[in-house]
Amino acid sequence: MATLAARFLRRSSVAGVRSMSTWFRTIDPAPKDPILGVTEAFLADQSPNKVNVGVGAYRDDSGKPVVLECVREAERRIAGSEFMEYLPIGGSIKMVEESLKLAYGDNSEFIKDKRIAAVQALSGTGACRLFAAFQQRFHPNAQIYIPIPTWANHHNIWRDAGVPIKTFRYYYPESRGLDFAGLMEDIKNAPDGSFFLLHACAHNPTGVDPSEQQWREISSQIKAKGHFPFFDMAYQGFASGDPERDAKAIRIFLEDGHLIGLAQSYAKNMGLYGQRTGCLSLLCENEKQAVAVKSQLQLIARPMYSNPPLHGALVVSTVLGDPELKKLWLKEVKVMADRIIGMRTTLRENLEKRGSPLPWQHITNQIGMFCYSGLTPDQVDRMTNEFHIYMTRNGRISMAGLNTGNVGYVADAIHEVTKSF
């Protein structure tokens, strides 16, 4: 039998038929993720002075990861009291209900009228991916407009869903702020009925958010063009310390009569990074439409991941569904936000005290976990090679990586690499 098999393989090779046992040979290694690559390089560095300001996760002033006390208490209540059965395809009903109240408002008319199609998702990434697949299935010829710059994975998500990607202007390097004129012009010039990806708050990677008045103008222009706004809200509560304030852009669009899409994540604001807990919601015209849309979202999710994970959903629904735990969460998320805001002030003050010739007010004007420093790729390379400070080459600094023990050292390094710029 073995001899016959060997003869067959030889004949197949001679005949030009490639054996399936060799098809992996044509596959090249994928490029490294730029953010994860920063962490790998940091971990390999033996310098006692090394600093990682590339990490996209919160750290306390000692540089340690944090588990919120409200989460610990929720886990104590959950332990031993819940089964480990599958969730429905659409996830935890209670978790989704609490998520909608957090985003749309406790007394939202849209929730009362059952106009929102919503499912639990695999954090914000999963919510975006599920929506991208939904967009491709039911609006296959529509393109998605993504801001320049944006979180790099946004491009991967919509590309892999087969959705054509366009970009719109957002960041203005000269001012380290918003390119509002360019943004409005691109919205106006996009084909009617296009999809626009918007960061609800704490824009990643720039930390640059429109003002309330600018959001109103953006909403008006998007409505005039018949575009569909899809919000990625990864930082509600974490940006300013106030979840209501951080949802202001969403509320403006709702007031203006938009139908919207929304991705929510509990990675940053509840510290559930590894639990992959989020929500995707789509505001529809009526309850009947919402039922149909939700059924289609579940149909897409079924072969993609079948159903979402249980533990994070139990944590979120327990924290947000209990008045005392929610009160504790609001206190703790404000502590995290305030520490980040404080580090912005301290970094700026340290740079200005060193007599830097450059303006640094953008550090405190920006908001959220990330600061778009304005450092060039060459300057970032110097930060790493000479000072063992690690960040992505676009100059994005994770403010969570700064603390009272290293902020002065980081300011020294930034001053050194920029003083002759």
**Which residues have a catalytic role annotated?**
151, 232, 268
∠ at Cα 297 (294, 301), nearest 5°? 140
* Cα(163)–Cα(239) distance, integer angstroms: 30
Look at residues 109, 60, 410, 36 and name the one whose alpha carbon lies nearest to residue 257.
109
Secondary structure class of 67 (helix, strand, coil) = coil
Question: Cβ(131)–Cβ(263) under 8 Å?
Answer: yes
Residue 329 CB-half CA count within 13 A: 28
Segment holding 372, helix H or strand E: strand 370-372
Token pair for 156: 């991967």
Q: Helix, strand, or coil here: 413?
A: helix
Tokens of 342: 């404080």
* CB neighbour class for 412 (10 Å; exposed up to 12, middle 13-18, buried from 19): middle
Nearest CA to 264 out of 130, 68, 110 is that of 130
Distances (CA, A) of 45 to 263, 375, 390, 391: 36, 22, 10, 13
- State how far the Cα of 58 lies from the Cα of 10, in Å rounded to an integer: 58
Q: What's the count of helices (H) and strands (E) in the chain, helices before strands?
A: 18, 13
Cα(214)–Cα(217) distance, integer angstroms: 5
Cα-Cα end-to-end distance for the chain: 74
DSSP element (H, E) containing 274 = none
Q: Residue 128: which residues within 8 A CB-CB, separation 6 or more?
A: 154, 157, 158, 232, 263
User: Can you name the residues that pair with 117 across neighbouring β-strands?
Assistant: 282
How many CB atoms sit inside 10 A of residue 1's CB?
A: 5
The strand order across the sheet containing 228-233 reads: 116-122, 277-283, 261-265, 228-233, 195-199, 144-148, 165-169
Using alpha carbons, list the distances in angstroms from residue 300 to 101, 115, 197: 25, 20, 21
